[in-house]
């Protein structure tokens, strides 16, 4: 088995059971760390002239880290069709998560800020949460492994999940009032905190201007870090102000989605007829969840590439679900 195939999603389909192995990349990371740790340990042992006995604790810690990666690489997600149960198993043996099919919404792709995507299992009561990873990360929509995974695994699992659904699981959420939009006749204007954006933008801009004066906190000169800081404050401040005063409006009368701002930068207009779905993008900073963007996609006739507009960002997954329901209500009714 090549390193490339090892890093891809692997699965095994048996009568009454589908087992997926999404963490194969950890095998490669374990091998890389083994070489790196060994080289570092030998350098510490011989070049720096330390004894094996005195460095035994370091050696054991390095081995433990590699072993943890290997154990995680063997983690599987098992769909027991006969029992109607999904189980996540460490090393394919120790169950660490279990979920009945009746509580599973489905398997959906989740994009990240880098542009790649992976497939995750979502619960019916948390459709836009973190989910449970069931595939490796893919960089292209036409990745052969991703296509095969959808055709052979996702389609099969969804077929069996249907037998455990109740009539009310996928009922359309009725919207009788709008939490995230100001309704003015047939216009639905997305609510925004203009004052908050204005205050934050002015603060950043003021800090940037201060750093150009002789009393700058970071001192003079143009080091790389100072240049990035100046760009962040002097450009980021006005950008935040502009974003706060950018108005996104759904016009039911003309069946159009419009984005407008005071200076006309980035103004867009899309027809509801070209609407091609909603997608959420989970964002993370230093591996810590930092919110979910809600994006709408449009595909114009005769064009191959979709156009995307970011509507809003939320930290709470419940707000994401409600917001998506409101957008769908406006566009599809």
Which domains are delineated in the chain?
3-24+74-164 (2.30.29), 181-332 (no CATH)
User: What value does the CA radius of gyration of the chain take, rounded to a whole number of Å?
Assistant: 25
Residue 309's H or E segment, with its range, is strand 307-314
Let me know the angle formed at the C-alpha of 192 by 188 and 195, rounded to the nearest 5 degrees: 145
Q: Are 272 and 255 in contact (CB under 8 A)?
A: yes
Let me know the angle formed at the C-alpha of 243 by 241 and 248, rounded to the nearest 5 degrees: 140
Strand ranges inside 112-255, DSSP E: 117-123, 132-133, 181-184, 187-190, 247-251
Quick one: which of 306, 278, 280, 308 has its CA closest to 112?
A: 280
- Neighbour-count burial of 136, counting CB atoms closer than 10 A to its CB (0-12 exposed, 13-18 middle, 19+ buried): buried
Residue-wise pLDDT tens digits, 220-277? 777 787 888 888 898 988 888 888 888 999 999 999 999 998 888 888 999 999 998 8
Rounded-to-integer distance, Cα 285 and Cα 322, Å: 25
As a dihedral over the C-alpha atoms of residue 231, residue 261, residue 179, residue 111, rounded to 10 degrees, the angle is: -50
pLDDT attached to residue 153? 94
Residue-wise pLDDT tens digits, 33-83? 999 999 988 888 877 777 778 788 888 999 999 999 999 999 999 999 999
The residue with tokens 């002015």 is 202
């Amino acid at each position: 088995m090549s390193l490339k195939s090892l890093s891809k999603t692997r699965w095994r389909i048996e009568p009454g059971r589908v087992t997926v192995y999404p963490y194969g990349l950890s095998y490669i990371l374990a091998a890389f760390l083994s070489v790196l740790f060994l080289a570092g340990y030998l350098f510490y042992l011989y070049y720096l002239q330390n004894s094996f006995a005195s460095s035994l604790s370091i050696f054991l810690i390095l081995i433990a880290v590699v072993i943890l990666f290997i154990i995680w690489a063997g983690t599987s997600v098992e769909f027991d069709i006969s029992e109607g149960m999904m189980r996540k198993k460490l090393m394919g043996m120790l169950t660490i998560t279990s979920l009945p099919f009746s509580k599973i919404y489905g398997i959906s792709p989740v994009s990240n800020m880098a542009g790649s995507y992976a497939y995750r299992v979502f619960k019916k009561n948390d459709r836009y949460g973190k989910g449970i990873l069931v595939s490796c990360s893919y960089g292209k929509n036409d990745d052969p492994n991703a296509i095969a995974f959808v055709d052979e695994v996702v389609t099969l699992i969804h077929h069996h999940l249907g037998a455990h659904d109740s009539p009310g699981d996928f009922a359309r959420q009725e919207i009788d009032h709008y939490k995230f939009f100001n309704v003015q006749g047939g216009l639905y204007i997305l609510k925004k905190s203009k004052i908050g954006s204005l205050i934050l933008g002015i603060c950043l801009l003021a800090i940037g201007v201060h750093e150009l004066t002789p009393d700058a906190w970071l001192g003079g000169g143009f080091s790389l870090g100072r240049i990035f800081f100046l760009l962040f404050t002097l450009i980021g401040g006005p950008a935040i102000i502009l974003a706060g005063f950018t108005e996104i409006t759904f016009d039911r009368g003309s069946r159009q989605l419009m984005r407008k701002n005071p200076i006309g930068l980035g103004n867009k207009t899309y027809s509801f007829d070209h609407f091609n779905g909603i997608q959420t993008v989970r964002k993370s900073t230093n591996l810590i969840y930092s919110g979910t963007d809600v994006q709408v996609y449009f595909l114009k006739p005769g064009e191959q590439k979709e156009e995307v507009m970011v509507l809003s960002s939320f930290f709470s997954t419940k707000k994401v679900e409600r917001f998506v329901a409101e957008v769908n209500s406006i566009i599809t009714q």
